[in-house]
Structure 1
Amino acid sequence: MSRRRRTRKAPEGFHVDERWAVSYMDMITVLFCLFVVLYAMSTVDKNRFEKLRNSLATGFGTTVSAKIDTATGTIVPPSAASKDKEGFGDLAMATKDVKKFSGLAEKMGKRLAAEGLQKDVQFHIDQRGLTVRLVGSQTFFSPDSVTLTARAYKIMRAITPVIAGTELQVSVEGHAANLITAFPSVWELSAERATKVARFMVEQGGLPGARVGATGYGSSRPARKGTSAADYRQNRRVDIVVLSNQSERVRALIPGVLKAQARSS
């Protein structure tokens, strides 16, 4: 009497998944290719090696180059670099800002030189922007007066059109020497002088009023800390600051860009 072979049936709802076999065969294929490559490289043949190298490079989607990359460019300091490459973008924008302000200073300098007035104005670039410094109360104002002199009007007519064409915000900042004046205090004197300059820029220079503000700092921010007549002349001043419109992170890089340019020049 023959014995029937019993076959087990899979439980109802159970499915045998054999997809692992596909991964296994892929792994075996990769190992096979590896051993073939190792065997092919066991006997060094320059021509065969070059062909193999080119073939592998093509397979991985790269281009073989016999040249060494010696390109140069802007080096981003570690403090300015980041994984998303924002550091390089910030440095590029800071460099662009410095170039823009240097161009503005050069343009204003040429207009002043044409009038013989270049010695009465100083330019300074920092992380705030471009500072146009009108130095000396005798040049721009009579002693203890907020009335602009004829020379001051010439200077303002030379520089205001350049500033008005930038579309940047402008801060007019008045400063005074720490001396007794006819005004109640040096605060009122410096503030009114700043206001006079701002009004001229708006009313006669074409600078939109929404882009300019006036502030008086009195004697709290002296350009020089001495007590000589020369020091007082430097402290009696009005600063016209063309403000940078970049983010604080970008503006913080401007001093470093200026130092790098100074070293390379």
Structure 2
Amino acid sequence: MSSGASRGNRRRRGQPDSAPPEGQGKDRWILSYADFITLLFAFFVALYSLSLKNAGDSKKLTETLNGVFDAVQLSVKPINIGEPVIGEPQTDDAVEAPPIPPAAPLVEEEPVAADVPSNVFTMLNQVIESQYQGLQASGQIAITESANWVNLELKSNLLFGSGEYELSNEAVALLMQIAVILQRYPSVVLVEGDTDDLPVSSDRLISNWHLSSLRSASVVEELVYRGMDPNTVAPIGFSSTNPKVRNTNEYSRQQNRRVVLRISKQEAVNLHDYLFN
């Protein structure tokens, strides 16, 4: 056999037996291109999300990242190439889904009004029994209630020095706790100052009217300083005109020297309207 024939045979053996069918695999590049575009979009959105994180907008960051992850999940789903299949479904199950039951209507619950007077009495009584039981046993602190008022009585020697109207450190600590409770259950409060019948013996004071008024004002100023609404609290001095017991001896006079916080059981916006309107 000639060398030319051999070369011809070699050329024929190197050639493919048959050409690939027309159109096979020519659209496969769309899959790779679509995935690339989707991931590129996710990359830039992630960069934007990082800028939102640096700006402190965590809510936008969460929403954006969720969108990125959803997009990536959608990108791995098959992409239809060619004409879509059009026809009737084999069964009705594919098109008839059970109806979604309507959501139950939201019912807004009416806020339950707190029993302010009872809560004030309960809270004050709990603080006194747990932290000031000794003072309660000795009569330095007492709490009672009537039809219209919750009455918290504090003896003057618990709050002030003899003939003084400036609060002691112990008095400030006690009034801080009282102010916290009165802020939680706001109501109008009258702070009443009472003295015994002995005349004052101080160059700074004119009379027991002066002393009782200054003592009640000191308590009011401390309560307001600790956060109470100044429109709901006021001082009043009764001098020795409202004794608890008869001023017959030193013990009875000590019972009459007191400051009483009278907390109203009736609702009111401010003390002035409560008293005069």
The C-alpha deviation readout for 1:8-52, integer Å capped at 9, x for no partner, is xxxxxxxxxxxxxxxxxxxxxxxxxxxxxxxxxxxxxxxxxxxxx
Between the aligned partners of 2:229 and 2:237, the Cα distance in structure 1 is 20
Pair 244,170 (structure 1): closer, same or farther in 2 beyond 3 Å: same
Within a 5 Å distance, the mapping from 1:103-114 to structure 2 comes to 103-114=119-130
Between the aligned partners of 1:102 and 1:225, the Cα distance in structure 2 is 32
Matching residue's letter, 2:191: V
Q: Does 1:196 align with 2:212?
A: no
Residues 187 and 267, structure 2, Cα contact 8 Å, conserved in 1: no
Within a 5 Å distance, the mapping from 1:31-42 to structure 2 comes to none
Q: Which structure would you say has the larger RCO, counting Cα contacts within 8 Å and 6 or more residues apart?
A: 1
The C-alpha deviation readout for 1:197-254, integer Å capped at 9, x for no partner, is 00000012x101011111101001011113222211111111111112269xxxxxxx
Q: Does 1:145 align with 2:164?
A: yes
Who is 2:91 aligned against? Answer: none
Between the aligned partners of 2:178 and 2:153, the Cα distance in structure 1 is 11
Q: Does 1:212 align with 2:205?
A: no
Who is 2:253 aligned against? Answer: 232
- 1:187 offset after TM fit, Å? 0.3
Matching residue's letter, 2:180: P
Within a 5 Å distance, the mapping from 1:84-123 to structure 2 comes to 100-116=116-132, 118-119=135-136, 120-123=140-143
Residues 216 and 259, structure 2, Cα contact 8 Å, conserved in 1: yes
Who is 2:193 aligned against? Answer: 174
User: SS at the partner of 1:188?
Assistant: helix
Matching residue's letter, 1:176: T
Matching residue's letter, 2:207: S
Between the aligned partners of 1:158 and 1:230, the Cα distance in structure 2 is 28
User: SS at the partner of 1:164?
Assistant: helix
Within a 5 Å distance, the mapping from 1:39-54 to structure 2 comes to none
Residues 224 and 230, structure 2, Cα contact 8 Å, conserved in 1: yes
Question: Could you say which structure has the larger radius of gyration?
Answer: 2
Within a 5 Å distance, the mapping from 1:61-76 to structure 2 comes to none
Correspondence for 2:208 among 175, 186, 190: 186
Pair 186,104 (structure 1): closer, same or farther in 2 beyond 3 Å: same
Who is 1:30 aligned against? Answer: none
User: SS at the partner of 1:101?
Assistant: helix
Residues 160 and 168, structure 2, Cα contact 8 Å, conserved in 1: yes
% same residue:
20
Who is 1:245 aligned against? Answer: 266
Matching residue's letter, 2:148: R
Between the aligned partners of 1:157 and 1:210, the Cα distance in structure 2 is 18
Between the aligned partners of 2:142 and 2:132, the Cα distance in structure 1 is 14
Matching residue's letter, 1:131: N
Matching residue's letter, 2:127: R
Who is 1:125 aligned against? Answer: 145
Unaligned runs of at least 5 residues, structure 2:
1-112, 269-277
Between the aligned partners of 2:247 and 2:239, the Cα distance in structure 1 is 16
Residues 159 and 171, structure 2, Cα contact 8 Å, conserved in 1: yes
User: SS at the partner of 1:131?
Assistant: strand
User: SS at the partner of 1:168?
Assistant: coil
